[in-house]
């Protein structure tokens, strides 16, 4: 970073968080290079349909798609106060034979809207690959820990046991749903196409001297040249901003799934069960040298909150696009759309990094299970006591009384661990039934309480995740983005 850069604000998404690929996608060079591709496609299609555009004009345009003189553009924009016309003139300077034909019949939204749709589609493709790679990392984790019993929680209170791998499957399930949304948006995202100033295609009808079929063919040709299956059937000057809302909903969905994962992991790290990666020389706190903070997951939550706050913006913008369009969307969209993609990309960089380096502490997990499992086993103990000849209601009362006392001892420090089984084994009601400590302990084997969780992991991986990764060519061994502070 130069001295001059230290004297002006720069987005943390660019300086710290987002990947190189996503930053390059939303760069001025990529955006305005797409504008030139769009002008070339329009000229080529018009020529194919009979407009007398010289070969040299097409050749010069094709030769200068990427060598944009941004200083010249800035000077033109200072004079014209119009960004699209600044780029038209800069393009014409290097393709003089094409000067009469660049932007022929088009309005600014021909390049701005179609360009944004191209960028959003490519942005979704980048996010999709990162989601797939994250799924690959989580799949390895779930397979490794498929049958490790762990406390499950409902209402954030200990509930029936799950397994570490099953919990990872829940995180994966969210991403699978997100992936379906992303794939749907990529497959159905329409091109704006060639629609003219208010969407009536009047200028193109004039160019083709009233030939409606040529205007329709022009729209199809340009749409195909840019790799879209269809253009939006009707538009105003812009495509419906509802499309932005639909895209940002899919993007925000990914951020939300990541935030749920990060929140879970922050709590698991507080419990000491699972921790995010922590590098050899990483400092957790400037004051408390022992600290190991879940900073990656905290950052996921922070960035996700930003993305979630931007999503409603798109619907709000759509609601006030009076008639064929207003311009109060422009400055807003320059912020909302790229930053949503950049922030979600940054979230997935972090998510993939955490998923690939999760540290599990089985001893701590088992200790926490042991603290709660005797309570969970009481129903099984009742069954065993009745089978041994006990009265169900009397046994229930004995267990209830000892459970309350054991829980109080745990919470108040009267016991180092859950001693419910010892209390029951020493109770005359149980000794009279011949139930030993071994009998009671057998009722609390953790694997008895995880249900089908290990098999659910196996089924989910085999039936959902593995086919998905194979179909999309996910590469979990791909070079990972560096996580920057």
Point out the catalytic residue in the list 6, 155, 286, 477: 155
**Dihedral sign from CA coordinates of 253, 259, 262, 267:** negative
**Dihedral sign from CA coordinates of 13, 17, 22, 25:** positive
Point out the catalytic residue in the list 27, 206, 285, 441: 285
Distance CA 145, CA 454 (A): 9
Report CA dihedral (359, 363, 369, 374) to the nearest 10 degrees: 170
Q: Is residue 441 annotated as a catalytic residue, yes or no?
A: no
Which tokens go with 316?
Answer: 């709000």
322-326 CB contacts, 8 Å cutoff, 24+ apart: 323/236, 324/198, 324/199, 324/236, 324/237, 324/238, 325/109, 325/236, 325/237, 325/238
Contact between 427 and 402 (Cβ < 8 Å): yes
**Dihedral sign from CA coordinates of 331, 333, 108, 204:** negative
Alpha helices in 49-163 (DSSP H): 55-63, 70-80, 83-94, 108-144
Q: Is residue 285 annotated as a catalytic residue, yes or no?
A: yes
Strand, helix or coil for residue 163? strand
Strand, helix or coil for residue 25? helix
* Residue for token pair 């699978």: 176
Could you please report the per-residue DSSP string of 287-341?
S-TT----HHHHHHHHHHHHHHHHHHHHHHHHHT--TT--GGGHHHHHHHHHHHH
Burial class (CB in 10 A: 0-12, 13-18, 19+), 374: buried
Question: Which residues carry out catalysis?
Answer: 155, 285
């Amino acid at each position: 970073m130069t001295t001059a850069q230290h004297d002006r604000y720069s987005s943390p998404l660019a300086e710290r968080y987002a990947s190189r690929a996503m930053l390059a996608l939303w760069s001025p060079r990529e955006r305005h290079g797409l504008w030139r591709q769009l002008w070339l496609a329009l000229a080529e299609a018009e020529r194919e349909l009979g407009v007398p555009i010289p070969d040299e004009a097409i050749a010069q345009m094709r030769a200068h798609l990427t060598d944009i003189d941004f200083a010249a553009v800035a000077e033109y924009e200072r004079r014209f106060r119009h960004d699209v016309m600044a780029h038209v003139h800069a393009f014409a300077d290097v393709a003089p034979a094409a000067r009469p034909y660049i932007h022929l019949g088009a309005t600014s939204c021909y390049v701005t809207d179609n360009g944004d749709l191209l960028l959003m589609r490519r942005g979704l493709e980048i996010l999709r690959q990162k989601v797939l790679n994250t799924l690959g990392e989580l799949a390895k984790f779930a397979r490794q820990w498929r049958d490790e019993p762990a406390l499950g929680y409902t209402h954030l209170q200990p509930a029936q046991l799950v397994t570490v791998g099953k919990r990872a499957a829940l995180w994966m399930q969210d991403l699978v749903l997100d992936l379906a949304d992303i794939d749907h948006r990529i497959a159905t995202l329409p091109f704006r196409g060639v629609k003219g100033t208010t969407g009536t295609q009047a200028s193109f009808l004039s160019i083709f001297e009233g030939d409606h079929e040529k205007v329709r063919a022009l729209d199809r040709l340009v749409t195909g040249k840019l790799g879209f299956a269809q253009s939006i059937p009707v538009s105003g000057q812009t495509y419906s901003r509802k499309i932005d809302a639909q895209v940002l909903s899919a993007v925000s969905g990914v951020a939300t799934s990541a935030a749920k994962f990060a929140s879970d992991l922050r709590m698991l790290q507080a419990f000491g069960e699972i921790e995010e990666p922590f590098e050899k020389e990483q400092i957790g706190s400037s004051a408390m040298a022992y600290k190991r903070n879940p900073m990656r997951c905290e950052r996921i939550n922070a960035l996700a909150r930003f993305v979630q706050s931007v999503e409603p913006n798109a619907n709000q913008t759509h609601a006030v696009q009076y008639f064929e369009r207003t311009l109060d969307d422009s400055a807003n969209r320059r912020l909302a759309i790229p930053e949503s993609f950049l922030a979600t990309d940054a979230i997935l960089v972090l998510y993939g990094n955490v998923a690939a380096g999760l540290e599990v502490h089985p001893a701590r997990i088992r200790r926490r299970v042991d603290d709660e499992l005797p309570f969970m086993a009481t129903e099984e103990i009742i069954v065993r006591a009745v089978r041994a000849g006990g009265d169900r209601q009397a046994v229930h009362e004995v267990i209830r009384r000892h459970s309350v006392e054991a829980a109080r001892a745990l919470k108040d420090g009267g016991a180092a661990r859950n001693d419910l089984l010892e209390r029951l084994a020493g109770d005359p009601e149980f000794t009279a039934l011949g139930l030993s400590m071994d009998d009671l302990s057998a009722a609390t084997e953790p694997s008895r309480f995880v249900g089908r969780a290990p098999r659910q992991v196996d089924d989910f991986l085999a039936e959902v995740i593995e086919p998905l990764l194979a179909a999309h060519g996910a590469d979990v061994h791909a070079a990972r983005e560096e996580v920057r502070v």
